Amino acid sequence: MTPHEQESIFRRWLSEHQGLLRRVVKSFAASAADQEDLLQEILLQAWISLPSFRGDSKETTWLYRLAFNTAMVWQRKEQRRRVKHEAFSSLIGEEPTSPDGTADALIERLYEAIRALPKPEASLALMLLDGLSYREMGEVLGISENHVAVRLHRIRKQLAEQLKGLES
């Protein structure tokens, strides 16, 4: 992969899969500063790992893997990683909000519920909501479709439990 190709793919991914990266970041980090920090880390890993992308798996599957792995490592080193990224924070833009300007309470609660889950479950919950197939989820986590199905059954119950009373 030439540097030019690397740059062009990176730019395309940045525009096409920005939503995916944002959702992963919000599912693993609560505060805006942490989200920026984690996003920067994921983008750095994506840039470093991009030359090894051979197209064997879908772009999104590859990105989920990379984002989840990076997020897990980041969470462990969270405290040490709280270095200043003010310069970067201005580049990322504003937090997504609903049309009336307020954050969507249900979605925010959902993010909270996902963050409270153990890491592999959080990854599965996010992919479930993003609409990935069981096969794709299995590929990201390295487990069988059957295994994915069983775990999602539990996750759905857990999420439903946490969101009770907020449906209105």
Binding region for another protein (CB under 8 A): 7, 10-11, 14-15, 18-19, 22-23, 40, 43-45, 47-49, 52-53, 62, 65-66, 68-70, 72-73, 76, 87-88, 91-94, 96-99, 104, 106-107, 110, 118-121, 123, 128-131, 133-134, 139-143, 145-147, 149-153, 156, 160, 163, 167
Q: How far is the CB of 99 from another protein (least distance, A)?
A: 6
Task: Count Cβ atoms within 10 A of the Cβ of residue 23 and give its class: 0-12 exposed, 13-18 middle, 19 or more buried.
Answer: buried
Q: How far is the CB of 123 from another protein (least distance, A)?
A: 7
> 31 or 168: whose CB is closer to another protein?
168
> Which ranges in the chain belong to alpha helices (H)?
3-16, 18-28, 32-49, 59-76, 86-92, 105-116, 119-130, 134-141, 145-163
Q: How far apart are CA 163 and CA 94, in angstroms?
A: 26
